[in-house]
């Protein structure tokens, strides 16, 4: 059986095209990762204000299910948060707070209407001394501002 000769020009062209395409892909990936101004810790306003949903609908759901709402932080995705409603007025009584203490995510205890951490420590339904975020009700929707720390919760607007 005869052995086929390889075309060195064709192999060189294929190799050069492969290197050029690979280099372009690397440049595109690096450009896409750095296009946010180079500050990877910057939180954009569109992600820092988290619209949870209708205050009336979610207040009824929390009351009916006897369970607060758990979410991943929409600003950085690095920590879970709880959105909780207490009271009877859907426009008031909202709070949002970290759903973890250290590396331990809180667990809701329906019977006692509070949280426990991995060590069995109790946390009140409103989050107690955990890190809180401002909450407002605007145009009937619950909005949590993850870019601002709050020492107390707020609910306002219509």
Q: Which sequence spans correspond to the domains of the chain?
A: 7-35, 47-145
Q: At the topology level of CATH, where does 47-145 sit?
A: Rieske Iron-sulfur Protein (2.102.10)
Distances (CA, A) of 123 to 66, 81, 109, 128, 134: 16, 14, 10, 6, 19
Instruction: Specify the pLDDT at position 25.
Output: 64
Q: Would you say the pTM of this structure is higher than 0.95?
A: no
Read off the pLDDT of each residue in 63-87 and give the average, rounded to a whole number: 85
Q: For the residues 52-67, what does the mean pLDDT come to?
A: 94
Whether the per-residue pLDDT at 59 is higher than 90: the answer is: yes
Residue 133: per-residue pLDDT:
92
Task: Read off the pLDDT band of 29 (50, 70, 90).
Answer: low
For position 2, what pLDDT does the model report? Answer: 61
Q: What average pLDDT does range 17-42 have in this prediction? A: 56
72 compared with 116, residue with greater pLDDT = 116
In this prediction, residue 7 has a pLDDT band, given cuts at 50, 70 and 90, of confident
pLDDT at 52 over 60: yes
């Amino acid at each position: 059986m005869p052995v086929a000769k390889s075309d060195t020009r064709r192999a060189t062209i294929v190799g050069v095209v492969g290197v050029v395409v690979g280099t372009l892909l690397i440049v595109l990936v690096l450009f896409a990762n750095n296009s946010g101004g180079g500050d990877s810790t910057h939180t954009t306003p569109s992600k820092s204000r988290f619209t949870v949903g209708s205050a009336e609908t979610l207040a009824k759901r929390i009351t009916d299910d006897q369970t607060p709402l758990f979410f991943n932080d929409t600003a950085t995705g690095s920590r879970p948060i709880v959105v909780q409603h207490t009271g009877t007025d859907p426009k008031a009584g909202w709070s949002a707070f970290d759903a973890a203490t250290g590396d331990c995510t809180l667990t809701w205890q329906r019977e006692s209407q509070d949280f426990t951490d991995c060590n069995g420590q109790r946390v009140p339904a409103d989050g107690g001394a955990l890190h809180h975020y401002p909450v407002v009700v605007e145009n009937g929707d619950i909005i949590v501002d993850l870019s601002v720390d709050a020492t107390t919760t707020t609910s306002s607007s219509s």
